[in-house]
Amino acid sequence: METKKNPQVEIGRNSSLYFALGLNIMLFISWQLLEYKTYDKSEVSIDVVNMEADLEDDIPIVKINTPPPPPPPAAIQESIQIVENTEDVKETVIQSTETDQSDKIAAPIVSVEDVAVEEVEEDVEVPFSVIEDIPVFPGCENVAKSQRRNCFQEKMDAHVRNNFNYPEAALDLGIQGKVFVMFVIDSKGNVTGIRSRGPDKILEKEAERIIKLLPQMTPGKQRGKPVRVPYSVPIVFKFMAS
């Protein structure tokens, strides 16, 4: 004979529900224990504070003897004297300075002989490549006009070679390169307006020194008149292989 179980009295029927309730209760108790805080209790002594009233010092009232105000000034009596006007007043007549078409202006007559014409010397600058008569370097006076450009260039190269001096500071620093020196031969044959452009100031200074030693030349001419002639010289500073 088999034993039948009563489903109402079965113990394991609601075991999962009991387990969930118990787990929640334990988690709640654990959370409350973790959040519980305790504080150190220190004894606080309550004393009696005696408040005494502050005594205010009475400030004595000092009377200052103020002098009385000065009396008001006495009223000034003005005496008015009536004088009869017996003198005749001369009226000043101002003449008008406006002019109209009826007024004539006397214009002075100027003759041609009275006009002085002053000649102004023009400071003309003509490039070396297109000037009619180039500046003459000393020593090229007796050279034919067609050969004076070559003579000028040869004299200029010889002048640079004879006065060339490599600066010791540039040698120590290993500075070399090409310096372009620009200058102007003015209408009197003097070398002016020296400027230079190069790789270093030391080389530029030496190149300008060489050009400043140029002699006075015969000025260049354009249409028979002395003019300013710009010129440029390249000076090369280069180490020589030993």
Give the pLDDT band (50/70/90) at residue 211. very high
What pLDDT shows up at residue 220?
93
Average pLDDT for 72-84: 66
What pLDDT shows up at residue 95?
67
Residue 189 near residue 219 (C-beta atoms within 8 A): yes
pLDDT at 225 over 90: yes
pLDDT at 79 over 70: no
What pLDDT shows up at residue 133?
92
Query: What number of CA atoms fall less than 13 Å from residue 111's CA on the CB side?
Result: 2
What pLDDT shows up at residue 4?
59
pLDDT digits (tens, 9 = 90+) for 126-162: 999 999 999 999 999 998 988 999 999 999 999 999 9
Average pLDDT for 155-182: 93
- Out of 70-84, 103-117, 227-241, the most confident range is 227-241
Query: Between residues 217 and 73, which one has the greater pLDDT?
Result: 217
What pLDDT shows up at residue 15?
80
Which among 211, 232, 218 is positioned nearest to 145, based on CA atoms? 218
pLDDT at 101 over 80: no
What pLDDT shows up at residue 2?
58
Q: Torsions phi, psi of 168, nearest 5? A: -65, -35
Unique residue bearing structure tokens 């009619």: 132
DSSP notation for 156-224: HHHHHHHH----HHHHHHT--EEEEEEEEE-TTS-EEEEEEE-S-HHHHHHHHHHHHTPPP-BPPEETT
Which of the residue ranges 16-25, 85-94, 209-218 would you say has the lowest mean pLDDT? 85-94
What pLDDT shows up at residue 86?
59
Element spanning 20, H or E? helix 15-35
Distance, CA of 186 to CA of 80 (rounded, Å): 89
Q: Which two tokens stand for residue 54?
A: 């502050």
pLDDT digits (tens, 9 = 90+) for 7-50: 665 666 678 888 888 899 999 999 988 888 776 666 555 555 55
Handedness of CA 31, 32, 33, 35 (dihedral sign): positive
What pLDDT shows up at residue 232?
94
CATH code: domain 145-237 is: 3.30.1150
Q: Torsions phi, psi of 184, nearest 5? A: -130, 130
What pLDDT shows up at residue 82?
66
Q: Torsions phi, psi of 169, nearest 5? A: -65, -35
pTM for this structure?
0.50
